[in-house]
A = this chain, B = another copy of it.
Amino acid sequence: MAVREKVFDVIIRCFKRHGAEVIDTPVFELKETLTGKYGEDSKLIYDLKDQGGELLSLRYDLTVPFARYLAMNKLTNIKRYHIAKVYRRDNPAMTRGRYREFYQCDFDIAGNFDPMIPDAECLKIMCEILSSLQIGDFLVKVNDRRILDGMFAICGVSDSKFRTICSSVDKLDKVSWEEVKNEMVGEKGLAPEVADRIGDYVQQHGGVSLVEQLLQDPKLSQNKQALEGLGDLKLLFEYLTLFGIDDKISFDLSLARGLDYYTGVIYEAVLLQTPAQAGEEPLGVGSVAAGGRYDGLVGMFDPKGRKVPCVGLSIGVERIFSIVEQRLEALEEKVRTTETQVLVASAQKKLLEERLKLVSELWDAGIKAELLYKKNPKLLNQLQYCEEAGIPLVAIIGEQELKDGVIKLRSVTSREEVNVRREDLVEEIKRRTGQPLRIC
């Protein structure tokens, strides 16, 4: 939890820096709200028992509840973040950060705006967060559903097979083109020459120059959807250059994303191994953030089908927790789980009352303080407690100190002790622990 709080803090600060408000929705939704939104993965939804009343399910992600919330409250314009747990009846894989109950950290911009401005901001946010977390080098793959659909059309895939071929393409980050082609031809009934044509496209990736090259592609440029997608990507790259993150972005025709609801730009951030470890090309070690544009989802919940265009991103925070934890373990770095600044201790017996009085004074002054819950603890035990809990200071009361109106302040690491006048103790603790003055 201590690690989690640090990661959340980085993420929340970034979301707030971009002017988002925070919303909350219930952990369960009406079962029908979730039905038909997640394709094959719908079988992973947790249902509640029918105990009378509405049929309910636990939320599967935060995007569908957000769209439901917008439609229900007739909101057409909001920038919000939502950090909460979602639920999937999946096989957990602890080391890879995959659980049945896990956090999602979502940021979305809803509203009718000029093209690619909010989309570019979403990518900027992803880059800011991944850089701040210092979890290694990363790359953001970008594509557009309209380019994919246009590409499928000109390669000769029938409309009805777009989504299933899309999910085959989506596997290219894990398996080879040969295997994907086998699936397309063997399982999904595509003609081999159609698959090969797709193969020529989806194995390409690059920067804005690839966008421009495809805009000249004699076939693709004839497809209206693909042309729109490519035009928008070109604009997107312009904005990303202004944001100073174009070097982090790769236009990758193999990026497809699993979810049904995307309608435009899609993206996925992957961590790269260090070049020394991998061969020529950096090897992806998995997605840590993803998102895209979904202009049709809110309309599905509006009685009149009114659309609210949305674009957003989700940080794969459980994977990030695993990475940060592993790094801390490797460094043998101990993370403090409390923030206590000072332990109120005594060197002699019969000073419980004095300890209680002093710790109370410190709490009232906003100092994070503890005492051992024993009448007559040994000084050694009190010092040991500080070492274990990482408490930096000990305020020691003794008979003589009480007479002199001072407290002995001891630094746990240096073992230095100085007498501080009781009325100066709060200021001295704040000074030593670098806590800004603040009224609590």
Residues of A within 8 A of B (CB): 1-2, 4-5, 13-14, 16-24, 26-28, 46-51, 53, 58, 85, 87, 89, 101, 109, 111, 113-114, 117-118, 120-121, 124, 128, 132, 238-239, 242-244, 337-340, 352-353, 356-357, 360, 363-364, 366-371, 373-375, 389, 436, 440
Contacts and interface: CB of A to CB of B under 8 A. Distances in A.
Given A27-B85, A124-B363, A353-B242, A1 B19 contact: no
Contact of A1 (B23, B26, B360, B369): B23
A19 B48 CA distance: 37
> What is the total number of copies of this protein in its complex?
2
Contacts of A20: 338
B16 A339 contact: yes
B51 A338 contact: no
Contacts of A371: 117
Contact of A373 (B14, B114, B244, B374): B114
B47 A21 contact: no
A47 to B, nearest CB: 4
11 contacts: A2-B22, A5-B22, A16-B339, A18-B368, A27-B27, A27-B85, A27-B87, A49-B49, A114-B375, A117-B371, A436-B436
A243 B367 contact: no
Given A49-B50, A50-B49, A440-B13, A18 B373 contact: no
Given A47-B48, A48-B46, A132-B440, A17 B373 contact: no
B374 A18 contact: no
Nearest to A339: B16
A14 B121 CA distance: 36
B242 A356 contact: yes
Contact of A19 (B356, B364, B366, B368): B368
B113 A373 contact: yes
Given A1-B21, A14-B440, A17-B369, 10 more contacts: A16-B339, A19-B339, A19-B370, A20-B338, A27-B58, A27-B101, A47-B49, A111-B373, A114-B374, A124-B360
A120 B359 CA distance: 12
Contact of A24 (B1, B47, B114, B124): B1
Nearest to A85: B27
Contacts of A19: 338-340, 368-370, 389
Contacts of A118: 373
A26 B101 contact: yes
Contacts of A53: 89
Contact of A244 (B58, B360, B375): B360
A373 B47 contact: no
Contact of A360 (B5, B109, B242, B389): B242
A89 B51 contact: yes
Contact of A239 (B14, B28, B356): B356
Nearest to A358: B242
Contacts of A48: 46-49, 58
B22 A370 contact: no
Contacts of A244: 360, 364
Contacts of A47: 48-49, 51
A370 B18 contact: yes
Contacts of A436: 436
